[in-house]
Amino acid sequence: MPKERLSVVVTRRLPEAVETRMQELFDVELSTSDQPMTREELIDALCRADVLVPTITDRIDAAMLAHAGERVKLIANYGAGVDNIDVITARQRGILVSNTPGVTTEDTADMAMALILAVTRRIPEGLATMQAGRWRGWAPTAFLGGRVGGRRLGILGMGRIGQAVARRANAFGMQVHYHNRRKLRPEVEADLSATYWESLDQMVSRMDVISINCPHTPSTFHLMNARRLKLMKPSAVLINTSRGEVVDENALTRMLRGDEIAGAGLDVYEHGAEINPRLRDLDNVVLLPQMGSATLEGRIEMGEKVIINIKTFDDGHRPPDLIVPSML
């Protein structure tokens, strides 16, 4: 007798190739409107599915999990970060949680480097001038930015993405420095030409560019708070392609408006899509709509990881990207 197919609910539209493969393997309910599910809709999905496939914007907290049915046994997150899910409560209720690590490393590092260039070379200002038809020709002092080569880059978080940013920065002639929970092995440091700083305060105060590449955890919330932001040089810029909650956005906004920091390039925000409106009218800030992982190749690979996690679970084995509370 054929085995009954798993019931899988997907909260958002995924690349067509991923959705097609899911339909071949599972009894899948796909999103058609691509609008975020409401809290009530997520609870309903948790009550009727064997597997829920949420995205990083779907917040699944303890109160929501308390309403989950007995049927759901796996939350296969479409994304590397899992701070949107109460993993501990899920495991207590017998629900496994998986993610999609390592897929967007190169894409996010590309975006971090693009933001460094965009802010230091004032690319958005030049683009806006051209699109508005205001350019009247070259001038010796127009749109003067700063040379990237030779600048000190301080990387906060030297995991996969941080190391990928370091490799790109080396190619541009930047001096790479980093702060991390653990010092890298000597051979890795040598390969990246990276200098370790045990004190984050000391590193921040000496860098020309700070790139945030650490996850959001209770220990990293507002790691770049008002006090630490004030340690930055007035000529320095801050780049964040990781998690918005790592930076005190209000403090950053005040300092940018007061010319206490030269600029910022942001792809993530403390309150998701609710961006501080005072950031929008600043010429020294580049704002992007969470584009760090937005490549077709990366999104398909994320979907393939989700499918592998679900299929492995369906075969009675531990999903390869299982999250356990000790990892958090």
Q: Does residue 2 sit within a domain?
A: no
What pLDDT is stored for residue 54 in this prediction? 97
Q: Does residue 76 sit within a domain?
A: yes
pLDDT at 103 over 80: yes
Q: Does residue 119 sit within a domain?
A: yes
Q: Name the pLDDT band for 11 (thresholds 50, 70, 90).
A: very high
**303-323 residue pLDDT tens:** 999 999 999 999 999 999 999
Structural domain including 235 reads: 105-136+144-287
**56-87 residue pLDDT tens:** 889 999 999 999 989 999 999 999 888 899 99
Q: Does residue 1 sit within a domain?
A: no
Phi, psi of 62 (to 5 degrees): -65, -40
Q: Are residues 192 and 182 in the same domain?
A: yes
Q: Is the pTM of this model over 0.85?
A: yes
pLDDT at 147 over 60: yes
The number of domains in the chain is 2
Q: Are residues 110 and 183 in the same domain?
A: yes
What pLDDT is stored for residue 326 in this prediction? 64
Q: Are residues 92 and 55 in the same domain?
A: yes
Q: Are residues 87 and 218 in the same domain?
A: no
**236-288 residue pLDDT tens:** 999 999 999 999 999 999 999 999 999 999 999 999 889 989 998 898 999 99
Q: Give the DSSP letter string of 91-155.
A: HHTT-EEE--TTTTHHHHHHHHHHHHHHHHTTHHHHHHHHHTT------TTTT-----TT-EEEE
- Residues 101-121, mean pLDDT to the nearest whole number: 96
- Residues 144-163, mean pLDDT to the nearest whole number: 97
Question: How far apart, in whole angstroms, are the C-alpha atoms of residue 138 and residue 34?
Answer: 45
Q: Are residues 49 and 114 in the same domain?
A: no
Percentage of the residues of the chain whose pLDDT score is greater than 90? 90
Q: Are residues 81 and 173 in the same domain?
A: no
pLDDT at 97 over 70: yes
Residue 6 to residues 28, 45, 87, 191, Cα–Cα distance (Å): 8, 14, 22, 45
Q: Are residues 122 and 267 in the same domain?
A: yes
**190-226 residue pLDDT tens:** 999 999 999 999 999 999 999 999 988 889 999 999 9
Q: Are residues 243 and 266 in the same domain?
A: yes
Q: Are residues 80 and 16 in the same domain?
A: yes
Closest by alpha carbon to 232, among 243, 220, 247, 221? Answer: 247
Q: Are residues 156 and 272 in the same domain?
A: yes
For the chain, the average pLDDT equals 95
- Residues 97-112, mean pLDDT to the nearest whole number: 96
Q: Which amino acid is at 278?
A: R
CATH classification at residue 30: 3.40.50.720
Q: Are residues 249 and 314 in the same domain?
A: no
What pLDDT is stored for residue 324 in this prediction? 87
pLDDT at 13 over 60: yes
Q: Are residues 38 and 64 in the same domain?
A: yes
**112-132 residue pLDDT tens:** 999 999 999 999 999 999 999
pLDDT at 328 over 60: no
Q: Name the pLDDT band for 1 (thresholds 50, 70, 90).
A: low
Q: Does residue 114 sit within a domain?
A: yes
- Residues 40-47, mean pLDDT to the nearest whole number: 95
Residue 216 to residues 53, 82, 107, 196, 279, Cα–Cα distance (Å): 21, 9, 19, 21, 22
Q: Does residue 60 sit within a domain?
A: yes
